């Protein structure tokens, strides 16, 4: 039960880390767009591209019913997303909302199991298992990060093959604007930023559990 509490806590921390990077990090997309010269690739103004981005991110959170986003591309008004991109983003929305539901369920389970252990007067055991569980999770994530860093393209492709049951994610930069605004470098930067934030939060939680164990001994 103690390990399950730890794994639930790590699931909450990981999903929240993803949300923090892409939703709470003001200016993140603009910085990445400038880094990868996206404006030149899609022939758009930054304000228009950021408007499209805001609408896309709202759609992923379920705050829009569709992904019809009209904007100016190469001096002409058009719907930014084509049908293939819309189908893929619908799949991505399902993945994102599924992660949000998983976080909610993990948080509820974590509270229930933690409360049960505290009622059984197993607070010290809970803290010890929290440290063990967090340590195991950090080790696993560090291993995955090290593996992905050896060939990001390869493991990024594996990720898509595992989580999507079609090939709509396989976009063509000649016809699909989406792949031009979020190139592989954007996903690599985002993955490493999320991993860094998650590991930092996890270490703080691990350290906090350790300090509480010392206090409990006294």
Task: Give the residue carrying structure tokens 């880094």.
Answer: 35
Helices (H), 20-122: 28-35, 38-42, 46-60, 83-119
Q: Give me the domain span that covers residue 119.
A: 2-217
Distances (CA, A) of 80 to 8, 13, 131: 38, 33, 47
Query: Which residues, listed in sequence order, are joined to residue 70 by a DSSP beta bridge?
Result: 79
pLDDT in tens, the chain (218 residues): 999 999 999 999 999 999 999 999 999 999 999 999 999 999 999 999 999 999 999 999 999 999 999 999 999 999 999 999 999 999 999 999 999 999 999 999 999 999 999 999 999 999 999 999 999 998 888 888 888 889 999 999 999 999 999 999 999 999 999 999 999 999 999 999 999 999 999 999 999 999 998 887 77
Tens of pLDDT along 137-168?
988 888 888 888 899 999 999 999 999 999 99
Q: How far apart are CA 114 and CA 12, in angstroms?
A: 15
Decide if 186 contacts 36 (C-beta within 8 A): yes
Retrieve residue 211's tokens. 């300090």
What is the total count of domains within the chain? 1
């Amino acid at each position: 039960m103690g390990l399950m509490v730890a794994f639930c806590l790590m699931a909450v921390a990981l999903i929240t880390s993803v949300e923090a990077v892409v939703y709470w990090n003001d200016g993140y997309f603009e910085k990445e767009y400038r880094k990868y010269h996206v404006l030149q690739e899609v022939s758009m103004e930054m304000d228009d591209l950021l408007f499209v981005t805001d609408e896309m991110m709202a759609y992923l959170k379920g705050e829009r019913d569709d992904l019809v986003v009209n904007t100016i591309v190469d001096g002409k008004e058009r719907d930014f997303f084509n049908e293939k991109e819309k189908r893929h983003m619908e799949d991505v929305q399902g993945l994102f909302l599924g992660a949000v539901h998983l976080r909610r369920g993990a948080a509820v389970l974590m509270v229930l199991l933690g409360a049960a252990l505290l009622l059984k007067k197993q607070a010290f055991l809970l803290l010890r298992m929290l440290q063990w569980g967090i340590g195991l999770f950090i080790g696993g994530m560090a291993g995955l990060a090290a593996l992905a860093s050896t060939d990001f393209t390869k493991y990024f492709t594996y990720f898509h093959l595992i989580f999507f049951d079609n090939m709509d994610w396989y976009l063509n930069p000649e016809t699909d604007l989406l792949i031009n605004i979020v190139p592989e470098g954007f996903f690599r930067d985002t993955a490493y930023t999320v991993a860094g934030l998650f590991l930092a939060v996890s270490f703080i939680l691990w350290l906090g559990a350790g300090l509480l164990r010392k206090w409990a001994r006294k």
